[in-house]
Amino acid sequence: MKSPELADLQAARERIAPYVHHTPVLCSQQLDGHTGAELFFKCEHLQRAGAFKARGATNAVLSLDATEAGAGVATHSSGNHGAALAMAAGQRDLPAYIVMPTNAPTVKRAAVAGYGGEIIECEPTLAAREATLATVLKKTGAVAVHPYNDPRIIAGQGTAALELMEQVPNLDVIVVPVGGGGLLAGTALAAKGLNSRIEVVAVEPEGADDAFRSFGLGELQPQTNPNTIADGLRAGLGELNFEIIRKHVDTILTVPDSVIVEAMKLQWTRMKQVVEPSGAVGFAGVLEHPERFRGRRVGLVVSGGNVDIDNLPW
Amino acid sequence: MKSPELADLQAARERIAPYVHHTPVLCSQQLDGHTGAELFFKCEHLQRAGAFKARGATNAVLSLDATEAGAGVATHSSGNHGAALAMAAGQRDLPAYIVMPTNAPTVKRAAVAGYGGEIIECEPTLAAREATLATVLKKTGAVAVHPYNDPRIIAGQGTAALELMEQVPNLDVIVVPVGGGGLLAGTALAAKGLNSRIEVVAVEPEGADDAFRSFGLGELQPQTNPNTIADGLRAGLGELNFEIIRKHVDTILTVPDSVIVEAMKLQWTRMKQVVEPSGAVGFAGVLEHPERFRGRRVGLVVSGGNVDIDNLPW
Calpha distance B96→A271 (Å, rounded): 25
Q: How many CA atoms lie within 13 A of A95 on its CB side?
A: 13
Q: Percent of chain A scored above 90 by pLDDT? A: 93
> Residue A37 belongs to what H/E stretch?
none
Kindly list the distances between the CA atom of residue A183 and the CA atoms of A64, A190, A209, A282, A302, in Å, as whole numbers in the listed order.
21, 10, 16, 12, 11
**Per-residue pLDDT reduced to its tens digit, B61-89:** 999 999 999 999 999 987 899 999 999 99
CB B179 within 8 A of CB B235: yes
Amino acid of residue B258: S
pLDDT at B1: 86
CB B132 within 8 A of CB B120: yes
CA dihedral sign, ordered A75, A97, A307, A31: positive
Min Cα distance B180 → chain A (Å) is 24
Confidence of residue A8 (pLDDT cuts 50, 70, 90): very high
Compare all CA atoms of chain A with the CA of B279 and give the residue at the minimum distance. A272
Min Cα distance B32 → chain A (Å) is 14
Mean pLDDT across the stretch A114-135? 94
Min Cα distance B122 → chain A (Å) is 26
Confidence of residue B98 (pLDDT cuts 50, 70, 90): very high
pLDDT at B141: 97
Phi, psi torsion values for A212, nearest 5 degrees: -60, -45
Which residues are paired to B75 by β-bridges?
A: B98
Min Cα distance B210 → chain A (Å) is 30
Q: Is any Cβ of chain B less than 8 angstroms from the Cβ of A274?
A: yes
**Per-residue pLDDT reduced to its tens digit, B126-156:** 899 999 999 999 999 999 999 999 999 999 9
Amino acid of residue A12: A
Mean pLDDT across the stretch B285-306? 98
pLDDT at A268: 98
Phi, psi torsion values for B114, nearest 5 degrees: -60, -30
Calpha distance A64→A72 (Å, rounded): 10
Q: Percent of chain B scored above 70 by pLDDT? A: 100
Q: Is the pLDDT of residue B15 over 80?
A: yes
| A-interface mutation test, from B269, B306, B308, B310, most A Cβ less than 10 A away | B269
CB A205 within 8 A of CB A180: no
Q: How many CB atoms lie within 10 A of CB A222?
A: 9
pLDDT at B57: 98
The answer for residues whose C-beta is within 8 angstroms of residue A216's C-beta and 6 or more apart is A252
**Per-residue pLDDT reduced to its tens digit, B199-236:** 999 999 999 999 999 999 999 999 999 999 999 999 99
Residues 286-305 of chain A with CB under 8 A from chain B are 305
Mean pLDDT across the stretch A154-178? 98
| B-interface mutation test, from A87, A108, A274, most B Cβ less than 10 A away | A274
CB B145 within 8 A of CB B60: yes
SS3 annotation, chain B: CCCCCHHHHHHHHHHHCCCCCCCCEECCHHHHHHHCCEEEEEEHHHCHHHECHHHHHHHHHHHCCHHHHCCCEEEECCCHHHHHHHHHHHHCCCCEEEEEECCCCHHHHHHHHHCCCEEEEECCCHHHHHHHHHHHHHHHCCEECCCCCCHHHHHHHCHHHHHHHHHCCCCCEEEEECCCCHHHHHHHHHHHHHCCCCEEEEEEEHHHCHHHHHHHHCCCCCCCCCCCCCHHHCCCCCHHHHHHHHHHCCEEEEECHHHHHHHHHHHHHCCCECCCHHHHHHHHHHHHCHHHCCCCEEEEEECECCCCCCCCCC
| B-interface mutation test, from A265, A266, A272, most B Cβ less than 10 A away | A272
pLDDT at B219: 97
CB B198 within 8 A of CB B190: no
Kindly list the distances between the CA atom of residue B249 and the CA atoms of B8, B137, B196, B212, in Å, as whole numbers in the listed order.
19, 34, 11, 11
Confidence of residue B311 (pLDDT cuts 50, 70, 90): confident
Q: What is the DSSP letter of A122?
A: E
CB A309 within 8 A of CB B269: yes
Confidence of residue A126 (pLDDT cuts 50, 70, 90): confident
CB A271 within 8 A of CB A28: yes
pTM value is 0.94
Which positions in chain B touch A20 (Cβ < 8 Å)? none
Kindly list the distances between the CA atom of residue A55 and the CA atoms of A32, A110, A242, B136, in Å, as whole numbers in the listed order.
28, 20, 20, 57
Confidence of residue A130 (pLDDT cuts 50, 70, 90): very high
Which positions in chain B touch A107 (Cβ < 8 Å)? 269
Q: How many CA atoms lie within 13 A of A214 on its CB side?
A: 28
How many residue pairs bridge chain A and chain B with CB atoms within 8 Å of each other?
42
Which residues are paired to B254 by β-bridges?
A: B204
**Per-residue pLDDT reduced to its tens digit, A246-272:** 999 999 999 999 999 999 999 999 999
Measured at the CA of B237, the angle between CA B39 and CA B114, to 5 degrees, comes to 75
Full set of structural domains in chain B with CATH: 6-52+151-302 (3.40.50.1100), 54-144 (3.40.50.1100)
Q: What is the DSSP letter of A95?
A: -
Picking from A150, A146, A143, the residue whose alpha carbon sits closest to that of residue A92 is A143
Q: Inter-chain contact B46–A272, Cβ cutoff 8 Å? A: yes
CB A260 within 8 A of CB A230: yes
pLDDT at B150: 97
**Per-residue pLDDT reduced to its tens digit, B153-167:** 999 999 999 999 999
Instruction: Go through chain B and tell me how many residues it has.
Output: 314
The answer for residues whose C-beta is within 8 angstroms of residue A66's C-beta and 6 or more apart is none
Which positions in chain A touch B26 (Cβ < 8 Å)? 46
Min Cα distance A47 → chain B (Å) is 10
Residues 4-63 of chain B with CB under 8 A from chain A are 24, 26, 45-46, 50
pLDDT at A25: 97
DSSP alpha helix (H) spans, chain A: 6-16, 29-35, 53-63, 66-69, 80-91, 106-114, 126-140, 151-157, 159-167, 182-194, 210-217, 239-248, 257-269, 281-288
